[in-house]
Amino acid sequence: MPQLNGGGGDDLGANDEMIAFKHEGDHEEKIRESAYTESDLADLKSSLVNESEISQNSNSAVIRRGQQEDQRIYTDKREHLDDVPRHQDGGMYKASYSGYPFLMLPEPYLPNGPVSPSSNKVSVVQQGMHPLTPLLPYDHFNPSAPHIPTDVSQKPGVHRHQSQEISGFYQLPQATRLTSTDPSAWFSHSLMLQSGMHPTGIPHPAIMPPSGKQEHDQFDRNIYVKSHPEAKREKEPKKPVIKKPLNAFMLYMKEMRAKVIAECTLKESAAINQILGRRWHALTREEQAKYYDLARKERQLHMQLYPSWSARDNYGKKKRRKRDKQDSSTGGKRSAFATFKEDAAPAPILPMEVL
DNA sequence: ACTCCTTTGAAGCTA
DNA sequence: TAGCTTCAAAGGAGT
DSSP assignment of A250-307, as one string?
Answer: HHHHHHHHHHHHHHSS---HHHHHHHHHHHHHHS-HHHHHHHHHHHHHHHHHHHHH-T
Q: Which nucleotide comes closest to A278 if you measure CA to C1'?
A: B7
Helices within chain A (DSSP H only): 15-20, 24-33, 44-56, 66-83, 90-94, 183-187, 216-219, 228-232, 248-263, 269-282, 285-305, 317-329, 336-339
Bases of chain C within 7 A of a CB of the protein: 6-13
Q: Where are the domains of chain A?
A: 110-242, 316-355
- In chain A, residues 120 through 149 whose Cβ sits under 7 angstroms from any atom of nucleic acid strand C: 124, 139-140
CA-based nearest residue to A46, from A262, A255, A270, A261: A270
How many angstroms separate the CA of A258 from the C1' of B13? 35
A319 touches strand C (CB under 7 A): yes
Give the mean pLDDT of A95-104: 30
Query: How far is the CA of A180 from the CAs of A149, A185, A198, A216, A347, in angstroms?
Result: 21, 7, 16, 34, 22
Query: Which pLDDT value is given to residue A276?
Result: 96
CA nearest to nucleotide B12 C1': residue: A312
Compute the C-alpha angle A245/A249/A253, nearest 5°.
100
Mean pLDDT of A200-226: 47
Q: Of the ranges A24-38, A91-105, A248-262, A292-306, which one carries the lowest mean pLDDT score?
A: A91-105
The nucleotide whose C1' lies nearest the CA of A254 is C9
Residue A71 (CA) to nucleotide B14 (C1'), in angstroms, measures: 24
Least reliable range by pLDDT among A57-71, A170-184, A299-313? A170-184
**Within A 221-250, residues with CB less than 7 Å from strand C:** 241, 243-244, 246-247, 249-250
Range scoring the smallest mean pLDDT among A7-11, A133-137, A209-213: A7-11
CA–C1' A67–B7 (A): 12
DSSP letters, A104-117, are G--GGGSTTSS---
Residue A305 has pLDDT above 70, yes or no: yes
Residues around strand B, C-beta < 7 Å:
A 17, 45, 67, 70, 74, 77-78, 81, 86, 89-90, 93-94, 211, 244, 247-250, 253, 268-270, 273-274, 276-277, 280-281, 288, 292, 295-296, 299, 310-312, 315-316, 318, 321-322, 325, 341
Q: What integer best gives the mean pLDDT of chain A?
A: 51
Q: Are A30 and A79 in contact (CB under 8 A)?
A: no
Where residue A327 falls among pLDDT bands split at 50, 70, 90? low
